[in-house]
Every structure is written in C-alpha cells, then in structure tokens.
C-alpha cells in the first residue's frame, strides 16, 4: 500500500496482517479523492475507523490542513503512528485510541470531511452515520466505503445522501449538500 499523490507520493504504508483486515484498494481510494479533489485543501478531516490511516494520510498529502485518526484497536493505532512517522505528518495529525461512539459523543471539533470505512456488514456504518451531527457542518462532506448493496441511510447527521458509486463489490456513498448534476 502506498500514498497515491501529493507531498508524500509513493511512500509505502504499513498495514495490519490478517483475514479481518481490508485496506481500501488504490482504485477505490483514487476514486474517493477524485470526488473531493477541489475541496480538500486546507480542510479539517476525520478518519473514523482509521485502520492503518491511509485515507487520512492521503488527505494530508493532498493538502488537508489537519486529520484526526480514530480507531479502537491498539494494533491499528500502532500502525497509524508508524505510518505518520514514515510520511512526516505528526504536526498535521492527532491519533485517538477510542471507540467511534465514545469519540463522537465527546468530540467538540467540527470537521469539513469525514471518512467512514468500518468493518463491513455489522451495522457500524449506519450507527456512525446517525451520530455525526455533532461533528459536521452544513458544508461538510461525508464519504463512506461499504459493500455494494448494503443499505445505507438517506442522511448522515443532517447531510443528505448525495451520490453513490460502484467499484466492483465496493460502494462509495457521499453525503453532502448540493445538486446532483446530469
């Protein structure tokens, strides 16, 4: 796994090993960042269910101002710390070892962009989307990766579902305000 573009382009990132680990593929990651390519510079980002931190690291590499990485797994936090050191983004990030619900209930920050890539098909995505109100603005964008065909709600906090994209067995759903073109 590597950083696709930006200031850390080509840097290799570490990931956890095992059958329960499912890093975002480069194709899906590139698609996600194409969706927000003009909206990322200078933004404050939340990488919830961060895993190895690749989405947040890609965001900083592409110009995001600051990323908060949240994961409940100590092993994931260790990998995120290693990856942040590898790319030199310690000044632009905060790493939180907490369950998503505990983090969201206690968070006072507001984020411009939120990435959600929880373990698939166990209801975490739907629960997290319902708890985002407190950490997003009316102008925020929420981007979710999930299995294609999984039901996702029509709203993430107060943001409506904007568009859904399909990449093989994976779907990317975007929540934000705006008109769907075409």
Per-residue pLDDT of the chain (182 residues; tens, 9 = 90+): 888 888 888 888 988 875 555 677 778 889 999 999 899 999 999 999 999 999 999 999 999 999 999 999 999 999 999 999 999 999 999 999 999 999 999 999 999 999 999 988 888 999 999 999 999 999 999 999 999 999 999 999 889 999 999 999 999 999 998 654 43
Q: What is the CATH number of domain 26-175?
A: 3.40.50.150
Q: Terminal CA-to-CA distance of the chain, rounded, Å?
A: 34
Model pLDDT, residue 178: 67
With 0.75 as the threshold, say if the pTM is over it.
yes
Q: What's CA 162's distance to the chain center, in Å?
A: 17
Dihedral sign computed on CA atoms, order 114, 84, 37, 1: negative
Domain boundaries, the chain: 26-175
> CA of 19: how far to CAs of 16, 23, 24, in Å?
10, 11, 14
Q: How far is 167 from 148, CA to CA, in rounded Å?
A: 8
What region does 156 belong to: left with phi over 0, alpha with psi -120 to 50, or beta? beta
CA angle 167, 128, 115 (to 5 degrees): 45
Model pLDDT, residue 120: 85
Task: Classify 178 as helix, strand or coil.
Answer: coil
Model pLDDT, residue 181: 45
Task: Classify 105 as helix, strand or coil.
Answer: helix
DSSP per position, 125-161: HHHHHHT-GGGEEEEEEEEEEEETT----SEETTEEE
Task: Classify 42 as helix, strand or coil.
Answer: coil
């Amino acid at each position: 796994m590597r950083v696709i573009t930006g200031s850390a382009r080509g840097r290799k990132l570490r990931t956890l090993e095992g059958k329960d680990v499912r890093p975002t593929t480069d194709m899906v990651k590139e698609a996600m960042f194409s969706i927000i390519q003009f909206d990322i510079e200078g933004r404050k980002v939340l990488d919830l269910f961060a895993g190895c931190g690749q989405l947040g690291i890609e965001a900083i590499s592409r110009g995001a101002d600051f990323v908060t990485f949240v994961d409940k797994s100590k092993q994931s936090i260790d990998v995120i710390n290693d990856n942040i050191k590898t790319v030199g983004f310690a000044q632009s990030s905060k790493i939180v070892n907490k369950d998503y619900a505990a983090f969201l209930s206690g968070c006072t920050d507001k984020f411009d962009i939120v990435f959600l890539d929880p373990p698939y098909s166990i209801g975490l995505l739907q629960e997290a989307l319902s708890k985002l109100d407190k950490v997003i603005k009316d102008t925020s964008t929420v981007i979710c990766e999930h299995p294609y065909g999984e039901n996702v709600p029509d709203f993430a906090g107060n943001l409506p579902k904007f568009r859904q994209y399909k990449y093989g067995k994976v779907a990317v759903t975007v929540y934000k305000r705006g008109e769907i073109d075409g």
